[in-house]
Amino acid sequence: MRPFLVPIHRDGWRFVAIFALADILLWALWEPLGWIGVAATAWCAYFFRDPPRVTPVRAGLIVSPADGIVQTVQQALPPPELGFAAVPRTRVSIFMNVFNVHVNRISADGTVTALAYRQGKFFNASLDKASEHNERQTIALRLPDGRDLGIVQIAGLVARRIRCDLAAGQAVRAGERFGLIRFGSRLDVYLPEGAQPLVVADQTAVAGETIIADLASPEPARQGEER
C-alpha cells in the first residue's frame, strides 16, 4: 500500500522553503495575505511531487518520459544535436501544464550516447515552433538492439530551468528518473526509424507507465477517437 503523502523531488525543497518564508512575512503584513501564502506554498509542494510509478519492463517497450497530454504525433526531423541521420522520424510531443508531475523518466533501457544543451527562446511549449526555437536539452540513447532513441526536454513560456542528471556513457533503465523542468514545459520523443506510435493526440500520458511504442510488435500505428 502506498503512503498517503507523495514524496517531493529534492530539487523542490528549497522552493517550498522560499514560499514558506514569504508566507511568514505575509502573515505579519495582513492575515488574508497569509492564507494566500499558505495556498501558494501548498501549490509549490504539489508542483514538485514525485510519486512512484510502476513501469512495464518487457524488452522493446518505450514508455512516456513525462506526464501530460500527447500534443502531436507526427513526422519531424530530429534536432541536429542528437547526431541522428537527417531523415524524418516519428515524434511524440507531450505537453506538461503547471498541474502535471514534472519529474521526467527514461523511456527505454539503453546507454546515453550524447547530451547537448542549447539556449533558445521561451515560446509557449504547446506551439509546434517550440521544438525548433525554444531552450532545450537533448538526450540520445542507444537501445539494446542497436537502434537510437531521442528525448528532448523543452522549456516553455514560464519554464526557466531544465534539469538533466544524466552523463554520457551512462547505462539507464526504463522508468528511472532523470530530471525535471520548471514550470510548465514539453518533452519530444523521437522514435527509432520504423517504430509505430501506440498513442494518439489528446491522449493523457503518465511518465514511466504509458507505452508510446513497442519495438517488438508489428502492430500498426494506433488510431483513436474521443468518447
Q: Which of 64, 107, 185, 217 is catalytic?
A: 185
Q: How many residues does the chain have?
A: 227
Q: Give 162-168's long-range contacts (Cβ < 8 A, gap of 24+).
A: 162/117, 162/135, 162/136, 162/137, 163/11, 164/115, 164/117, 164/137, 164/139, 166/112, 166/115, 166/139, 167/112, 167/115, 168/112, 168/113, 168/114, 168/115
Q: Which residues contact 31 (CB under 8 A, 6 or more apart)?
A: none
Can you tell me whether residue 158 is helix, strand or coil?
A: coil
Residue 151 corresponds to which cell in the numbers above? 528525448
Question: Measured between alpha carbons, how far is 172 from 165 in angstroms, rounded to an integer?
Answer: 11
**Is 126 a catalytic site residue?**
no
Residue 24: strand, helix, or coil: helix
Write out the catalytic residue numbers.
185
